[in-house]
Amino acid sequence: MTSWVPTLGAKVLLVVDSAAAQDPRRRAILEASAMGAAEVRFANEAAAKEMLGRISPDDVVLVIFASLEGVEKACEYGLELKRLTIGHLPAAAGRVALHPAVHIGPADRQVIERLSATGMEIVVQPLPSDKVLPAPRATHSLPPATTLTPGRVEAKLRVVNAKGLHLRAAHQLAQLAGGLPCEVTIGSPGSMVNGKSLLGITTLGATCGTLLEVVIEGPGADASFQAVERLFESGFGEGSDWAGGDS
């Protein structure tokens, strides 16, 4: 929202995700996260082409998908895309890191191969300031998992501002984390979320005094943690209202 929208001059965000399209709460959070910078519309994969056709050709549209499989499904329903930028794929078993925010596995490469065969250009670029990397195809070898030797910082940080992780504070945290060259996860044992996801952060419901676990992995983990720690200590720019005691 804070990087790609102004860089592209996007006026409309089309979120192609059947789960989000059917969930009023997720829709409300995503709409609020646009902060008025662009209009947010939703469609499932089957309706993406029709929805895109309703938007004025004079408007710059940023189409956002939840997964590579979602892209392929929308294309099967007739959506035509010339370029796909992969901005985030989470770590998982069998995946290796091309970027701290992008992890690719065999199934992902197969989808990329099929999409590339349609003439679609596919690149990896989480943020406009990041170097553009070609997406690996099924016939290309991936770097070994040891190519990146990320550091790791794990600590607990307390929410100290009166309103807790409300939308504005969550937006600040997601914006900061999104600009870091590492993976950021935050939450509590058994309920950790992506620190670069505004939607994920807001689901934590962290109020003033809540102690959250923060895990940062990747190049520059120490410096990245210090930046996150400073944001927490500042009360996300709202000051501290924490009086002490256990949470």
Catalytic residue positions, numbered: 166
Tokens 């309103």 belong to: 163
Contact 72, 111 (CB under 8 A): yes
Q: Residue 102, SS3?
A: strand
Q: Residue 35, SS3?
A: coil
Residues in the chain: 247
C-alpha closest to that of 200 among 98, 90, 94, 103: 90
* Cβ neighbours of residue 230 closer than 8 Å, sequence gap 6 or more: none
- Determine how many CB atoms are found less than 10 A away from the CB of residue 60: 12
Tokens 């006026």 belong to: 11
Integer Cα distance of 17 and 14 in angstroms: 9
Integer Cα distance of 158 and 41 in angstroms: 35
Integer Cα distance of 155 and 187 in angstroms: 11
Dihedral over Cα of 101, 107, 109, 114: its sign: negative
What are the angstrom distances between the C-alpha of 202 and each of 59, 73, 174, 196? 30, 29, 10, 11
